[in-house]
Amino acid sequence: MAEGKKLGGAGLRGQVAGKTALSTVGVSGSGLTYRGYDVKDLAENCEFEEVAHLILKGALPTQAELDAYKTKLKGLRSLPQPLKEVLERIPADAHPMDVIRTGCSMLGNLEQEDTTVMGAFPTQEEAIDRMLACFPSIICYWYRFSHDGVRVEENTDDESIGAHFLHMLRGEKPNELHERVMNVSLILYAEHEFNASTFTARVCASTLSDIHSCITGAIGTLRGPLHGGANEAAMDMIEKFTSADHAEQEMMGMLERKEKIMGFGHAIYSTSDPRNAIIKEWSEKLAADVGDTVLYPVSVRCEEVMWREKKLFCNADFFHASAYHFMGIPTKLFTPIFVMSRLTGWAGHVMEQRADNRIIRPSAEYTGEDLRKVNPIAERG
């Protein structure tokens, strides 16, 4: 697989389905850029809110713009009471991706985007900022209420979205390391060209539907284990391994049985996913911080075995599993964090689609029956 991934065949692979100025994926083999900036550069030098500003408003902010943006987002964290009531009715064993999907949809009922003039979307930026600010509140409000019986305070004084999320989740402010890792993680997950969930959002946008419908559809698409759900699936796998040797033994068995191993491979990248090296480094730092001697070495061995045996590499999701785990984040909240971040990419693409729209409607190759007549019902069977 490493030598030239074939971009063709099923799944629209390799076909250009539209234009974007938001990102490039794998253009120079394995690179990822957001509006011309290398993701590594952004992850090293920016906060998530700067990257959100870049994606949604077109440029990295000045200090004054960033301060104003963060203050604005901070003021939009509260949830409307009817939304809280809906969240309180969702059981603890619901899938958190279903919760955030429902939360987004309910928000769209309570705070509808203005779509009264067809094709004009005068409140889209307001609606996007609101979702960016309150998605962490939706996730944590439901999680803390259903699991701990606590009605969480959605208005923390945390400056960043990542710290705000961890604060609500745990009831205390995160340390600097955890806040930094959240920033990096949210930056890495923010945008990725025409991936499946973003394409869903663009298809929905192309019908001139409202922004909450576009994002709700995208959340449903991200949920699957072949896409965003892979970080949770990877965690479920690695936590079963008791040592690096055990991991190797089990992985070899899975490969022999031709099982899919979550967190590996990619539809576009051919030799590596540039986000992996970055989150792997932070996972190693977090492992040292918590004194881990199992999960990180297990993860590294999985990476070595997959490359040695199949030339398959870790995608963005694999080392996110251990990194989030070391920060004490429950596995079932891994993919909702992805939503908190990818919302920026989805929304950027919706605005881009709306600005130069033609309804997305591909064709199918028909493989069914030739033309035939309807038999009277008494003669069928």
Can 210 be counted among the known catalytic residues?
no
Please list every residue from 18 through 37 that binds ligand OAA, using CB under 6 A. 25
Verify binding: residue 264, ligand ACO, rule CB under 6 A.
Answer: yes
332 burial via Cβ count (<10 Å: 0-12, 13-18, 19+): middle
Give 313's Cβ-side CA count (13 Å radius). 20
Residue 362 makes CB contacts below 8 A (sequence gap 6+) with 12, 17
Q: Which does 262 bind (CB under 5 to 8 A by kind): ligand OAA, ligand ACO, none?
A: ligand ACO
* Sole binder of ligand ACO in the list 92, 110, 120, 226 (CB under 6 A): 226
The active-site residue, picked from 129, 158, 273, 317, is 317
Count, residues near ligand ACO per rule CB under 6 A: 18
Nearer Cβ to ligand ACO (135/189)? 189
What residues does 34 pair with on adjacent strands? 23, 37
In this structure, which long-range contacts are made by residues 107-115, counting pairs with CB atoms below 8 Å and at least 24 apart in sequence? 107/80, 107/83, 107/131, 107/134, 107/138, 107/212, 108/210, 108/211, 108/212, 108/213, 108/216, 110/80, 110/82, 110/83, 111/80, 112/210, 112/212, 113/210, 113/211, 113/212, 115/208, 115/209, 115/210
Can 317 be counted among the known catalytic residues?
yes
- Distance between CA 363 and CA 342 in Å, rounded? 28
Which tokens in the block code for residue 26?
């794998």
Using CB under 6 A, which of the segments 137-145, 172-180, 313-321, 368-376 binds ligand ACO?
313-321
Residue window 268-307: x/- pattern of binding to ligand OAA, with contact defined by CB under 6 A:
x---------------------------------------
- Distance between CA 204 and CA 341 in Å, rounded? 20
Verify binding: residue 267, ligand OAA, rule CB under 6 A.
Answer: yes
Look at the chain and count its residues: 381
* Sole binder of ligand ACO in the list 56, 107, 184, 312 (CB under 6 A): 312
Q: Hey, how many other C-beta atoms are within 10 angstroms of the C-beta on 311? A: 13
Q: Could you tell me the smallest distance in angstroms from the CB atom of residue 192 to ligand OAA? A: 3
Using CB under 6 A, which of the segments 66-74, 95-103, 290-298, 310-318 binds ligand ACO?
310-318
Nearer Cβ to ligand OAA (137/341)? 341
The active-site residue, picked from 266, 320, 325, 349, is 266
Verify binding: residue 227, ligand ACO, rule CB under 6 A.
Answer: yes
Q: Could you tell me the smallest distance in angstroms from the CB atom of residue 375 to ligand ACO? A: 41
Nearer Cβ to ligand ACO (312/323)? 312
> Which residue's CB atom is positioned nearest to ligand ACO?
265
Please list every residue from 164 through 203 that binds ligand OAA, using CB under 6 A. 192, 195
Q: Which does 260 bind (CB under 5 to 8 A by kind): ligand ACO, ligand OAA, none?
A: ligand ACO
Residue 364 makes CB contacts below 8 A (sequence gap 6+) with none
| 307 contacts 313 by C-beta, under 8 angstroms | yes
Closest to 196 measured CA to CA, from 24, 1, 319, 13: 13
Verify binding: residue 230, ligand OAA, rule CB under 6 A.
Answer: no
- Distance between CA 325 and CA 87 in Å, rounded? 25
Please list every residue from 200 through 219 that binds ligand ACO, using CB under 6 A. none
Verify binding: residue 316, ligand OAA, rule CB under 6 A.
Answer: yes
Nearer Cβ to ligand ACO (13/89)? 13
Chain centroid to CA 297: 25
Which tokens in the block code for residue 49?
């809110």
Q: Hey, how many other C-beta atoms are within 10 angstroms of the C-beta on 158? A: 19
SS3 content of the chain, % helix, strand, coil (to 5): 55, 5, 40
Q: Could you tell me the smallest distance in angstroms from the CB atom of residue 270 to ligand ACO? A: 8
Closest to 292 measured CA to CA, from 245, 327, 240, 329: 327
Q: Could you tell me the smallest distance in angstroms from the CB atom of residue 303 to ligand OAA? A: 17
Name the site residues for ligand ACO (rule: CB under 6 A).
1, 5, 226-228, 230, 260-267, 312, 315-317
Q: Which sequence positions are flagged as catalytic?
A: 266, 317
* Contacts to ligand OAA by CB under 6 A: 25, 192, 195, 267-268, 315-316
